[in-house]
Copies of this chain bind each other. A is one copy, B any other.
């Protein structure tokens, strides 16, 4: 089966030849493919952030899409190059957990270790598997080569569990998992955890963030508070987000990814 879309997610940035080299390799092998950039601005070596972004968008892409992820601090070490085959899509990248959160959401069927050299570039460097392994493997699969012809199933692979919030009686202790380009603070507390505690739009909650406590009304859109006011909101990925209407919440509270957020109600 031919596949038409390959997406790329990396921490390579946008000034170097790395992303373009991958695209050239893909189009040389599979000229029919449409290449879509997810982002190349994952924080360098931050596998967890890459995993979160990939998992956030994967369901919006068509069935049979091939997703290549390269956030790969262990390139050239013994970490395996893998293909994750799921019900909806194929994911390709390093075995460091980057792919698995997304793969599980897509219905993981099996994980293959890439082994057959005829589907790689002739010379495989120890520093750029994106170009030498992942791009050509993605392109051959787009051409109809079966993943099973390229790799062999493995039982062991790295999972990177999404940090789960701690649910107490009158408290949820969560974590900041992403700060977006607007400065919105995205937490790992999902709408499900809030619903279990009967918190919904309009509920009053107290949020403790970087040592400051704020009483906030849970809103469904930024424009429900005045400009420059803080609000708590269920965001478009169904996660609790602390935001400032038309402002930058991360700067206001001076927070970073990984910090705790406590919600009391």
Interface residues of A (CB under 8 A from B): 4-5, 7, 12-21, 23-25, 27-28, 31, 34-42, 44-45, 53, 56-57, 60-62, 65, 73-77, 125-128, 131-132, 178, 180-182, 220-224, 233, 235-237, 246
Across the two chains, which residue of chain B brings its CB closest to A233? B127
Contact of A224 among B56, B76, B182 (CB under 8 A): B76
How many copies of this kind of chain does the complex include? 3
Task: Known A27-B36, A36-B23, A246-B45; judge A221-B53 contact (CB<8 A).
Answer: no
CB-CB under 8 A for A28 and B180, given A20-B36, A132-B236, A222-B76? no
From known contacts A57-B20, A181-B16, infer whether A75 and B39 are also in contact, taking CB-CB under 8 Å.
Answer: no
Chain B residue, CB-CB nearest to A7: B20
The closest CB in chain B to the CB of A62 belongs to B28
Q: Is the interface of A mostly helix, strand, loop or mixed?
A: loop
- Counting chain B CB atoms within 10 Å of each CB, which of A7, A13, A20, A35 scores highest? A20
**Residues of B contacting A19 with CB < 8 Å?**
39
Q: Is the CB of A61 within 8 A of B180?
A: no
Which of A5, A15, A45 neighbours the largest number of chain B CB atoms within 10 Å of its CB? A15
